Amino acid sequence: MIIVSNTTPLSSLLGIGRSDILVALFGTIHIAEAVAEEMRLGGFGIDKDIFRIHAVEASDYETLLRRDLDLGESQTIALAKTLSADLVLIDERLGYSIAKEEGLPLAGTLTLLLNAKQRGIITEAKPLLEAMIANK
């Protein structure tokens, strides 16, 4: 499965020390260079066992996306299209809407937590959500 992620779902889980959820659900996650840079600027390390960083060439498509989205979101959507991603992790409302219009399969952080609970990776989602809110 090819999973591509924007910054927020990753920083939300890494911010509360729960990268294990990402690993258990997906193994490897593909991210654009802009997402990797946003994570670094946010103080998060990039574990090369979890994340595969991709250069995303500027294209007419990405330029079109950049009119409405930040660089991380536009590169995430462009990368997902390029890799024919099986799932795109994105929380921001506008980015989610545009990715949906592009026909990409989507999930946000809350969906990840619910899937982790259903699969027995975590026992409760609520304490993790509360920790993420407190960590903002």
Q: How confident is the model at residue 70 (pLDDT cuts 50, 70, 90)?
A: confident
d(C-alpha 93, C-alpha 80), whole Å = 17
Asked whether 12 and 36 are in contact (CB, 8 A), the reply is: no
d(C-alpha 134, C-alpha 38), whole Å = 20
Domains along the chain with CATH numbers? 3-135 (3.40.50.1010)
d(C-alpha 1, C-alpha 16), whole Å = 25
d(C-alpha 29, C-alpha 24), whole Å = 11
| Angle, helices 7-14/19-26, rounded to nearest 10 degrees | 120
Residue 62's pLDDT is 67
pLDDT per residue as tens digits for the range 32-55: 999 999 999 999 989 999 999 999
